[in-house]
Amino acid sequence: MPAPSRPTLEAIAREASVSLSTVSKVLNGRPGVSAVTRRRVEDLLHDSGYARRGVDAERGEAVELVLENLASEWSVEVIRGVERVTRQNGLAMTLSTIGDYHAVGDELITGVLRRKPIAIVLQFSNLTADHRRQLRTRNIPFVVVDPAGDPPPDVPAIGATNWAGGVAATRHLLSLGHRRIAAIGGPDDLMCSRARIAGYQSAMQEAGIPVPAERAAGGFSRADGEREGRRLLQHPDRPTAIVCANDMQALGVYDAAFSLGLDVPRDVSVVGFDDAPSAAWARPPLTTVRQPLQEMAEEATRLALRLRAGDVENPRLELATALVERASTAAPAL
């Protein structure tokens, strides 16, 4: 029995009742096609099983990295990891920013289709089903680093053991003798943030200590940490230790403590998460949970390149976190 023939662009153009040039515009992300026609052609490309082949000569030798922004220490570590692997493979790295991890829009995907990278690595971003279909139709593999939510099983992703990190941070404080331990969470719609807080709660429950009913939460910024830290530390029965969802929050807690005349760690111990470069430079140096950001970015890039070669068994991986003990934690004062 002969193998079914591969769908052609000519056949897709006939079925969509459009010209071949219109199908080509859709395939290459070029303007000049109405939204309705573009969607009809995209659906036919997907439903027909069309997958673009033999186009590497048309593509640049670049991996595109899509970041929330370029200002954070997190982003710098990811850039370093992706750049290292692309350089090792004789490739270039290009950068795009979205400004908000919730908003990978049509404009960015259209730009990707025009630029024709050989693969994409995305920070946080959850692609829509339509975006995933568009990329797969063009044989542009993608991998998400530290996904914001719970991506579908077929979305390749590299994460970290955030829950285990939350457990390790809290157990460290418990081992020092702390019992009044508060936590400051990050955005509730981020899976990593929820996992870190869940780890804190599990460790507290394991030790038989009630988890505070009111949980401080906010963004990942230093200002968020200062605001929530000030609120916690002004409480009559203030905590002797605070677990933070990231290092910038922890540095904000430093600011709150110092403004209230409190000393870290004599009056309050503080633990961060990420082990960004600023953690070691802080005064006192910050105890934190190391998230292997560069290694995560490296693995994401290697995975994207393996996907391009069709050599992937497991598209999901979590790298281990580890507690880094510094001078911001000590036994509680008597």
Domain boundaries, the chain: 9-47, 59-160+294-319, 162-292
Q: What is the amino acid identity at position 248?
A: M
Render pLDDT for 284-306 as a digit per residue (tens, 0 to 9).
999 999 999 999 999 999 999 99
How far apart CA 227 and CA 137 sit, in angstroms, is: 47
pLDDT greater than 50 at residue 55: no
How far apart CA 276 and CA 293 sit, in angstroms, is: 9
Render pLDDT for 274-283 as a digit per residue (tens, 0 to 9).
999 999 999 9
Render pLDDT for 131-149 as a digit per residue (tens, 0 to 9).
998 898 888 999 999 887 7
How far apart CA 165 and CA 92 sit, in angstroms, is: 33
Residue 3: predicted pLDDT: 43
Token pair belonging to 86: 């692309």
Confidence class of residue 39 from pLDDT cuts 50, 70 and 90?
confident
Q: Three-class SS of residue 53?
A: coil
Q: What is the amino acid identity at position 327?
A: A
Residue 37: predicted pLDDT: 78
Q: Three-class SS of residue 318?
A: strand
The CA–CA distances, whole Å, from 105 to 66, 102, 111, 127, 128 equal 12, 9, 10, 9, 9
- DSSP for 158-202, please give it: EEE-HHHHHHHHHHHHHHTT---EEEEE--TT-HHHHHHHHHHHH
Q: Which residues of 66-99 are buried (b: 16+ CB within 10 A; e: fewer)?
A: bbbeeebbbbbbbbebbbbbbeeeebebeebebe
How far apart CA 229 and CA 170 sit, in angstroms, is: 17
- DSSP for 59-99, please give it: S-SEEEEEES-SSSHHHHHHHHHHHHHHHHTT-EEEEEE-S
CATH entry 3.20.20.20 includes domain 59-160+294-319: no
Report the CATH number of the 162-292 domain. Answer: 3.40.50.2300
Cβ within 8 Å of residue 92, ≥6 positions away: 60, 61, 62, 63, 86
Region of 258 (left: φ > 0; alpha: ψ -120 to 50; beta: rest) is alpha
Render pLDDT for 177-225 as a digit per residue (tens, 0 to 9).
999 999 999 988 888 899 999 999 999 999 999 998 766 677 889 999 9
Residue 5: predicted pLDDT: 54
Same fold across 59-160+294-319 and 162-292: yes
With CA atoms as reference, report the closest residue to 327 among 286, 280, 267: 286
Residue 113: predicted pLDDT: 87
Cβ within 8 Å of residue 277, ≥6 positions away: 73
Lowest-pLDDT choice from 26-35, 167-176, 321-330: 26-35
Q: What integer is the mean pLDDT of 56-81?
A: 82
Confidence class of residue 44 from pLDDT cuts 50, 70 and 90?
confident
pLDDT greater than 90 at residue 243: yes
Residue 288: predicted pLDDT: 98
Residue 1: predicted pLDDT: 41
